[in-house]
Amino acid sequence: MLQPPFPYAGQPIAQMSATELAEAVAFHNARYYADGAALIPDAEYDSMVEKLRDLAPNHPLLLQVGAPAQVVEAGDKVQHRVPMLSLDKCNTLEEFQAWVRGLAAAVTGKPVRSLDEAQLWADSATAQVVLTPKIDGLACTFRYRDGQLLLAATRGDGQVGEDVTHSARQVRGVPGRLADAPRGEVEVRGEIYLSLGEFAKVSAQFANPRNLAAGTLKAKDNPAIAPRTLQFFAYDVQGMDFASKRERLQWAAQQGFVPPPHQLLGLAQVPEAFAQAVEARTTWDFEADGIVVELNDVAVAQRLGTTSHHPRWAVAWKFHADSGLTRLVDVEWSVARTGTITPVALTEPVLLSGATVTRATLHNVSNLKRLALRPGDQVEVVRRGGVIPHIERVVVASEAEPIAVPTNCPSCGAPTRLLVRDERHPPVEILVCSQPDQCTTARRRSVLHYCQTLELEGFGDKVVDLVMEAGLVQDPADLYTLQAGDLQELPRMGAVMASNLVAQLDKGRRVPLQKFLCALGISSLGKQTAGLLVSRGDLAALRQLTVAEVAALHSLGDKTAEQVVGGLAERSALIDRLLQHIEVLVERPSGDSPNGPLSGQLVVFTGSLAKMGRRDAQTAVVKLGGLAGDTVTSETTVLVVGGDEFDSPTPSSKLKKARKLQSQGGTIRIVSEPEFWADLEGRA
């Protein structure tokens, strides 16, 4: 009878027992080390080893897999033969472009002053680059001799690393031997990481996957997770010549390594690819903190050389670093003056772009439900562009019960209601107090808001609390009924303070219309909208406006118009009472000229403006007789584009909308910010 050529040939690995696997692996090891010839594909051999690890993690054979007869380095320290360098970094498009200019100059040997010049070169063939995610793991090097794994070491300080052979050889994606290795030594370098999927499975006691990976790799015994749970992306090969970075990655893949996801591109395409990576990043199963951009042409790269810190042919373009991991402590429900109840995450302190953050907005109930937050969750807090921090995602869920949406207002105890705001896509659920007028927190906030808007000195939260708790004030109109004698009786309030407060109120009895409108605390009716409304008439006239009129007048949109008109109607009684105490001044913005150069124009701004802030720009438009809007609609006549938006790979939604309107035959003009002001100067 014919003997099978080797034990268990052709048998499905999934069905093999540990003993069978061990036998097969031992057989192939012996064949390979003795004869240098493999009888089965490496992938199959690796699967057997992997499966054996699953079934019998401590099998003595595993400790021998790929083990060399002799280990060259003894002890913990490993001197790197070629230093493991760092990477040059950039954080913004401008910094990246500056890097490209420097690179263009270094490659061409000529100074490159402008972006255009750099662009010319960036379009050429030598400017091909390979893009890989910058993996947030542990840099590690694997040394092979004659195809056998000899040693694994961490990066350490770049010159001297730590021997982690014992654990690192168990990492997935690290072959014990190379498929078709050259004779002599090669080193394969890359990043060991813990996938987010695996990280999510382990308990929440680790700050992030990177720390857990490091702990596992360096643990002398009993790590929190098995080293085989870790994975390896190979991005570099030392000791062999390749014409290009891409070939290097391909060779690594042929040897049984896993290269990181990569793209070969012209330098000019990098900004767009970066923007795409920012989007795609959320779907990656590993942490990455940027994109590594490397020249593909090895000969050109070698000519450029390295500094003592980094190679000159590569740069890491970092994602916005203003995010961090922390633990969710609880959710607080904050009642706004309008009665809206917003969930706020309370977290353990985390340092984000230089500030310690302990509170992060959760926006609304839909978002809370999406995140399914539980106390003790490990969460990522993100603070993009300096705005209020928010909870980006749950990294590791705790086992506690998910946080429930309160059925009663945390401030007044009245039942809550969930409203669906379907003007947003997708629609969002908002929690509101069903009796905002009686809700103390909501009332307190609305009185405080009134005082702050009218700059009533002395009426801070302490005084507002005092007068409200004493029952002297229920709403802003009651403020004007306060008597020095009453105030004086309150705790911690002397006669002087009492009369100062009353004097403040008296001083503020003439209120400009715009301020008055803001002080009412109507959703959507802030300074900007109020500024637009006041050019349309006095308070009495404004109170008569219909939703359609407001919406049409300023292209504020139906929802804003509804809130403005509805808010004024709801506060009708309050406004009437306030008018018994104060005078609302109708002052049209000075210089508001019906025949100004912008009369008949509805102007919208997008992007960051260089000449002045957006509000000032909108005010300037109104002064010149035009209207300023916040959204692009078919009525918009001019869209003014600031900053680099024109050429941006990610145009704003306003710019996209305007272009679409143009393509449909609309008459909207799209002009750059400098063009817009220059044109006005020309006509003034």
Binding site for ligand IVH (CB under 6 A): 85-87, 132-135, 139, 155, 191, 235-236, 260, 292, 311, 314, 316
Q: Cis check for the bond before 426: say yes or no (omega within 30 of 0).
A: yes
Longest dimension (CA), the chain: 115
DSSP designation for 275: H
Q: What are phi and psi of 19, to 5 degrees?
A: -65, -45
- Between strands 602-606 and 638-641, the pairing is parallel
The nearest distance, CB 131 to ligand IVH, in angstroms, is 9
Residue whose token pair is 């019906």: 594
Neighbour-count burial for 81-120, b at 16+ CB within 10 Å, e otherwise: eeebbebbebeebeebbebbbebbbbbeeeebeeeebbbe
The amino acid at residue 523 is S
As a whole number of angstroms, the distance between CA 417 and CA 432 comes to 5
Q: Which residues are registered as beta bridge partners of 585?
A: 512
The nearest distance, CB 103 to ligand IVH, in angstroms, is 15
As a whole number of angstroms, the distance between CA 62 and CA 54 comes to 11
The nearest distance, CB 617 to ligand IVH, in angstroms, is 41
Nearer to ligand IVH, 196 or 680 (CB): 196
Q: What is the 3-state secondary structure (H, E, C) of 73-136?
A: CCCCEEECCCCCCCCEEECCHHHHHHHHHHHHHHHHCCCCCCHHHHHHHHCCHHHEEEEEEEEC
Crossing angle for the helix pair 18-35 and 42-55, to the nearest 10 degrees:
140
Nearer to ligand IVH, 286 or 676 (CB): 286
As a whole number of angstroms, the distance between CA 493 and CA 498 comes to 7
Identify whether 660 is a catalytic site residue: no
Look at residue 600 and give its three-state secondary structure.
coil
The nearest distance, CB 102 to ligand IVH, in angstroms, is 17
Nearer to ligand IVH, 277 or 530 (CB): 277
As a whole number of angstroms, the distance between CA 511 and CA 173 comes to 71
Measured at CB, which residue is nearest to ligand IVH?
Answer: 139
Q: What are phi and psi of 124, to 5 degrees?
A: -85, 170
Which of 190, 177, 271, 188 is closest to 230 using CA atoms?
A: 190
Nearer to ligand IVH, 135 or 532 (CB): 135
Q: Which residues are registered as beta bridge partners of 583?
A: 510
For residue 290, what are its two tokens? 């940027």
The nearest distance, CB 247 to ligand IVH, in angstroms, is 15
Alpha helices in 109-241 (DSSP H): 115-122, 165-168, 196-201, 209-218
Q: What is the 3-state secondary structure (H, E, C) of 570-596?
A: HCHHHHHHHHCCCEEECCCCCCCCCCC
Nearer to ligand IVH, 154 or 446 (CB): 154
Residue whose token pair is 């034990």: 7
Catalytic residue among 77, 89, 134, 318: 134
The nearest distance, CB 249 to ligand IVH, in angstroms, is 10
As a whole number of angstroms, the distance between CA 436 and CA 445 comes to 11
Nearer to ligand IVH, 48 or 135 (CB): 135
The nearest distance, CB 190 to ligand IVH, in angstroms, is 7
- Between strands 288-295 and 314-318, the pairing is antiparallel
Nearer to ligand IVH, 139 or 513 (CB): 139
Nearer to ligand IVH, 273 or 621 (CB): 273
Nearer to ligand IVH, 191 or 297 (CB): 191
As a whole number of angstroms, the distance between CA 153 and CA 140 comes to 6
The nearest distance, CB 245 to ligand IVH, in angstroms, is 9
Nearer to ligand IVH, 130 or 640 (CB): 130
The nearest distance, CB 123 to ligand IVH, in angstroms, is 24
Crossing angle for the helix pair 93-108 and 115-122, to the nearest 10 degrees:
70
The nearest distance, CB 319 to ligand IVH, in angstroms, is 12
The nearest distance, CB 238 to ligand IVH, in angstroms, is 11
Q: What is the 3-state secondary structure (H, E, C) of 500-565?
A: HHHHHHHHCCEEEHHHHHHHCCCCCCCHHHHHHHHCCCCHHHHHHCCHHHHHHHHCCCHHHHHHHH
Q: How many CB atoms lie within 10 A of CB 499?
A: 14
Nearer to ligand IVH, 294 or 673 (CB): 294
Active-site residues, by number, are 134
